Structure formats: C-alpha cells, structure tokens
Structure 1
Amino acid sequence: MKDETSHPGRITEIRDQVRDPERVSLFIDGEFRIGLPRIAVAERNLRIGQILTEEDLAELESVDEASRAINQTLRLLGYRPRSSSEISSRLRRNGFSEPAIQSAIERMVEYGYVDDQDFARFWVENRQQHRPRGRRMLESELRQRGVSPDLIDQAIDEADIDEYGAARELAIKQMDRYRGLEPDVWRRRMAGFLQRRGYGWNVVRQVLDELERNDDDG
C-alpha cells in the first residue's frame, strides 16, 4: 500500500469483529468501509493513520471476496466432497465474482481439498455402498456434476462394479412389490425399475430371465 497526498481516506480504526475473531473491520475517516481477514491486514501491514487510494481499497475488496469464497467452499466441503464444477456453480449462484471463484478453487486444489478424480471415486464408491446404480446412471450423475469423461471412465473402471450382481440384488428386494402381477406386466415394471437406475438392457434381461426361472422352479 502506498501513502498518497491525494487520497480517499485514512485508516482511523482497525476493530476486531465480535462474531468472527479471524476478521477485523476497517474504518476510513471514522466510518466503516470493509471487513477483512486478520491475516490480510498483517500481510499488507495495514495500520492506523495509513492513507489508502481507491485502487488500494479495490484490491482489499477483492482480497476479502476471495477469502469469503474460500470460507464458503470449506463449509460446502464440510457436508461432502464436491467437484470443482459444483463449487463454482454454488459460489456463482451466491454472487461471487469469477476472479474470486477461481481464486477459491485454485487454493482448494493446492491444499488438496478439491480433486475431481478423488471426487469421482468417492461418488462411485458411495453409490455402490448405499444406493447402487448402473454404469449409465453413474456416468450421468458425474457429468451433471461437471466431471470430465476421462475421469468418469477411470473411476467406474477402477471400481470394477458387478452390475449383474447389483441389479439382481435390487430386483430381489423389489420382488414383493410386484408379486401377483401378470408375467408380462411384472417383467415390464421390473425392467423399467432397473433401467431407471442405470442398468443396460443386457444386464436387465439376464436378471429378469434368472428371476423368472427361479420363480418357475419354485
């Protein structure tokens, strides 16, 4: 920061914020002007009596926005891992500028908190453990979250998903719901159920054929 004889204002107070001890309020000529991370004040050696230009204040506003974007990103990641595209979209909806969004993403990638490859692996593994899905559905879900096709393929291939086994287990759990229906109606509804969960027709057909054989044997 530079001292200027022509200036918009002088720092008259740097006050700790009550709600967030990591932030301070900067007062210019006796009036509140901007909130800042405490570390930004230290890094820029801001002090009472210092004169700031409009360019200085604009820079500080950018620093503050980037800091708030980072904090919001950390809160989002506290709920579950997210792709870089998900984070960008959420920050954009919340009114952050593109430079602030880019700064937040770069910092999170640098710290290892955001990694689209790790996110894709997490998503596939989590789905298979709690809400099994076929390959097509997994691909669709990850595309919607902005993951690149290469990373999607890699995550699904690494998971080595047993689509037939997973589809069969889902179908067995669904059997009671369709019990008593005419065979063609049962087959159509079960096929739709499995296909909506991302299983291809070849897998669905094999599962239906096996269940029908078992039912006939029983």
Structure 2
Amino acid sequence: MENDQNDSDDESYRQVYSAGIRLLAVRGHSVLELQQKLSRKQHALPLIDRVISDLLNAGYLDDQNFAYDYSRQRIAKGYGPLAIRQGLFHRGVEARHIEQALNDQNINWLEHAQTVISNRFEPDAIISAEPKIEARIARFMQHRGFTGSDSLRALQVLRKRISSLAD
C-alpha cells in the first residue's frame, strides 16, 4: 500500500517537474512566475515548492539570470529603466537582482532615450517647439519607462544635433 503511494507521489513529482522544464524551455521565468503557472495547473503547493527548489539547485531557474535576460530584451525593444524595474518587480524579482541586472547592461540611458526618440519621431517633430508635440513625445517616453529628465535632455540633445545638421 505504501509502495502505491510512493509511486503516485513520484509520478506527480515527474509531472510537475516536466511541466516546469517545458515552461522554462519556451522562455526564462522568475521563480514567482513559474510558481504561479504551475499552481494554475492545480498541482499541490508542496510539490511545486519541491520542484522549484530542485530547478533552482540544478541551475535551470535563476532570478538573477532572468533579470539580466529580461532587461536586455526590454532595452532592445526601446524600454527605459523605470519600465524594466516595474516589469521585473511584478514578476517577483528581488530589488538587488533588478539593480544588478540593470548595472550589468552598462547602458547610457540618455543615449538610449535619444535612440528611442529618433526611431519613433520624424526630425521635424523632434525640432518642433509646439507644446502639443513636446507633450506627445514626453508621454511616449514616460510610457516607455524613461525619467522625465532623461527624456527632456535627450530631446534637447537631438534638437541641437538636428539643427547643426540643417545648418
């Protein structure tokens, strides 16, 4: 009788472990994300915790690596530090991992903001002094997770650069 219970526990463990591996094969996950996804599949919480622990020990699950990869991907898509921090925080990543991941990217946020603005807006819009257009650029940059000061400085630098090219 006890053997049947052990076999059932082993089979349940294998199912949860396999589900975790399949999820991680698609993309990286934070510990919290993986716990939530596995619990949605109605797996027992102690079993999920055991699988998470085993995946952590095996090196398949690592919040620091997840934070680094996530921030790299979001930077490539034109997002700023505020949006990246918020996204990682909502995925349950600790603040120390978030800050380390952003520092490891070694990025100049002002230059990144300039690139994002110039990729999204035409030069005429960038050099325009119309408050309506400036507000549109500011809203876009805020939505992308840039600080107001970085957005404003990036816009000023781009205006100078475009004006000097026009001369």
Q: 1:69 aligns with which of 16, 39, 45?
A: 16
- For the residues of structure 1 that align with 2:123 and 2:159, how far apart are their CA atoms? 15
C-alpha RMSD over aligned residues: 2.1
Structure 1 partner of 2:37: 90
1:205 CA drift (Å)? 0.9
User: What whole-Å deviation, never above 9, does each CA across 1:71-106 have from its counterpart, x for those lacking one?
Assistant: 011111111111111110000111111111011111
The answer to whether 1:159 aligns with 2:105 is: yes
Q: 1:73/1:178 Cα in 2 relative to 1: closer, same or farther (>3 Å)?
A: farther
User: What whole-Å deviation, never above 9, does each CA across 1:119-146 have from its counterpart, x for those lacking one?
Assistant: 1111112222x31321111110101111
1:182 CA drift (Å)? 6.7
1:160 CA drift (Å)? 1.9
Greater percentage in strand = 1
Q: 1:186/1:69 Cα in 2 relative to 1: closer, same or farther (>3 Å)?
A: same
Greater percentage in helix = 2
Percent of residue pairs identical: 23
* Aligned pairs, number: 164
Task: Return the TM-score normalized by structure 1.
Answer: 0.69
User: What whole-Å deviation, never above 9, does each CA across 1:171-206 have from its counterpart, x for those lacking one?
Assistant: 011113984977111100001111111100110110
1:64 CA drift (Å)? 1.5
Q: Which amino acid aligns with 2:22?
A: R
Q: Contact 1:133–1:199 (CA<8 Å) still a contact in 2?
A: yes
Task: Return the TM-score normalized by structure 2.
Answer: 0.88
The equivalences for 1:133-212 within 5 A come to 133-176=79-122, 179=125, 183-212=130-159
Q: 2:51 aligns with which of 101, 104, 108?
A: 104
SS in structure 1 at match of 2:107 = coil
Structure 2 partner of 1:13: none
Q: Contact 1:120–1:142 (CA<8 Å) still a contact in 2?
A: yes
1:61 CA drift (Å)? 2.3
- For the residues of structure 2 that align with 1:71 and 1:142, how far apart are their CA atoms? 25
Q: Which has the larger radius of gyration?
A: 1
Q: Which amino acid aligns with 1:113?
A: Y
Structure 2 residue runs of 5 or longer lacking an equivalent are: none
Q: Which amino acid aligns with 1:96?
A: H
Which gives a bigger RCO, structure 1 or 2 (Cα 8 Å, sep 6+)?
Answer: 2
